[in-house]
Structure 1
Amino acid sequence: MEKEIASLNMPPAMSQGIEALVESGEYSTGSDVLTDAFRVFLENKPEKKTPIGTELYRRGQVSLMRASEIAGMDFESFKEVLTDRGIGWRKKSNISRCCE
């Protein structure tokens, strides 16, 4: 499920680079450029996956299992991270279905 982000503020060189990639045909849309950039960011900084999984779980947007997958961690290790951060576990029925 895609969600539109209202606006992003970035340096002119960055927005011009995105426009150039789209106009050259390398990408179909600016959104595709940003999606690819975020994927590469997470590949190069896998430690950033843990706060993403943790926050999505805390908000109730994903299940505990899905959050551990997003974080790139096994289920038991992820539960320890939640405990260390003071985040309790909840029943699946309390999870919103938006991001599953």
Structure 2
Amino acid sequence: MENENRIHVIDFQIAQGSQWVSFIQALSRRPGGAPYIRITGIDDAQSAHARGGGLDLVGQRLAQVAKSCGVPFEFHGAAMSGDVQLENLQVRHERHWL
């Protein structure tokens, strides 16, 4: 990731997304500038811990953090049950995965 200008993270249990705050902050200090970060947060719609519409709030919060750090950012929330299909993740194949 050292020299990548775009990073796509797919988080299969995004929860509140707090784990990505320090990641975004660290990348904002990267020599040569921050990469474009895209996070796809997956929430199991049938789980007892599902956030329902909360994925939008997670995305908004992470977008605010990224904006305050000057990091180009995009969030895609995906509420799914059962098998995850690649097409539902909206993966753009030129980006790296974490």
TM-score scaled to structure 2, two decimals? Answer: 0.26
Higher normalized strand content (fraction of residues): 2
Larger radius of gyration: 1
Q: For CA contacts below 8 A with separation 6 or more, give which structure has more relative contact order.
A: 2
Higher normalized helix content (fraction of residues): 1
